[in-house]
Amino acid sequence: MHYFIKAKEIVLADTSLHNSYLSYENGIIKSIGVNPSKQDMVVDFGKCKILPGLIDLHIHGADGSDVMDGTYEALERISSYLPTVGVTSYLATTVTSTWNDIKDAVINTEKNHRKWCQRSQNFGGELC
């Protein structure tokens, strides 16, 4: 489905567009700053801003789970929660612990890396 999103402000890397449009189709941003035709469907976000996804470079966990839990379920919960608050990329960070605990957490994170990449692309970002 193709539609346009109108927002008070669309923040880009080097500028901001005011009262502008973002074209969106099948989970992919197609264009920014292009006006829709009269036939196009428009969703008006009113006074809201559209921002690029945030990057968290130091995160131990989220939504009740921790990287050190060392389980697929914990890491999946973290990865599922972060996009809901605008984080599209993150660096899973361990805490001071025994070598074996840290090693297990790192191995588990690497093992599930490809699964997260696929999931994050569904949100339009890269959780890799």
Q: Quick one: fold of 2-50?
A: Urease, subunit C; domain 1 (2.30.40)
pLDDT tens digits, 11-57: 998 999 999 999 998 888 899 999 999 999 999 999 999 988 889 99
pLDDT tens digits, 41-97: 999 999 999 988 889 999 999 999 998 987 888 888 998 899 888 898 888 899 999
**C-alpha to C-alpha distance for 21 and 34, rounded to whole angstroms:** 6
pTM (2 decimals)? 0.64
The conformation of residue 82, written as its DSSP 8-state character, comes to G
> What are residue 17's DSSP bridge partners?
10
Looking at the chain, the domain(s) classified CATH 2.30.40.10 span: 2-50
Closest CA to 32 of 13, 59, 46, 57: 13
